[in-house]
Amino acid sequence: MSERRNVEYKGAPLDAEKGPGLGCFWLQIAVLAVVVVLTPLSAAWDWPVLVTIVLMATTLVLLLFVGQTVIFLLRLVAADRRAAGRRRPMRSATPTVGEIEDAATRDAADEDATPPEDGPG
């Protein structure tokens, strides 16, 4: 396996420790699920309007945070895969596009590295 390389983001290596983790994400999802269920029920159960408004605002803010956390975590997954290099699909019988491109690049490099043959004489 090839060595792992750093993936840069905005000019610096992407660091998983600088953002939210999965625990934070699952906590946000749990609170969002509770608030999403309670918001319409608060209106149906005739809770005070202020409570319903606060629940609705909380829902919108949590949607923002959950969305940003998902984007960050997906960026980490993509960076981890990019750092690992090319991977071959498990049950692929035919070469992948990346493998074809790599072979073409190697062939072109081999042709450039071959010294020209001297003619007779």
Structural domain of 80: 20-88+96-108
Residue 82 and residue 9: Cα distance in Å, rounded?
Answer: 12
Quick check: 19 and 72 in contact, CB under 8 A?
yes
Domains in the chain, number: 1
Asked, for residue 68, whether it belongs to a domain, the answer is: yes
The half-sphere exposure of 45 on its side-chain side, counting CA atoms within 13 A, is 9
Whole-model pTM: value is 0.58
Asked, for residue 59, whether it belongs to a domain, the answer is: yes
Which pLDDT tens digit goes with each residue over 95-120?
888 788 888 888 888 777 666 666 56
What sign for the dihedral angle of Cα 66, 71, 73, 77?
A: positive
Chain centre to alpha carbon of residue 17: 15
Asked, for residue 119, whether it belongs to a domain, the answer is: no
Asked, for residue 114, whether it belongs to a domain, the answer is: no
Residue numbers in the chain where pLDDT is lower than 50? 1-2
Looking at residue 115, its pLDDT comes to 64
Q: Residues, the chain, total?
A: 121
Asked, for residue 120, whether it belongs to a domain, the answer is: no
Looking at residue 72, its pLDDT comes to 85
Looking at residue 7, its pLDDT comes to 64
Radius of gyration of the chain (CA): 26
Looking at residue 91, its pLDDT comes to 79
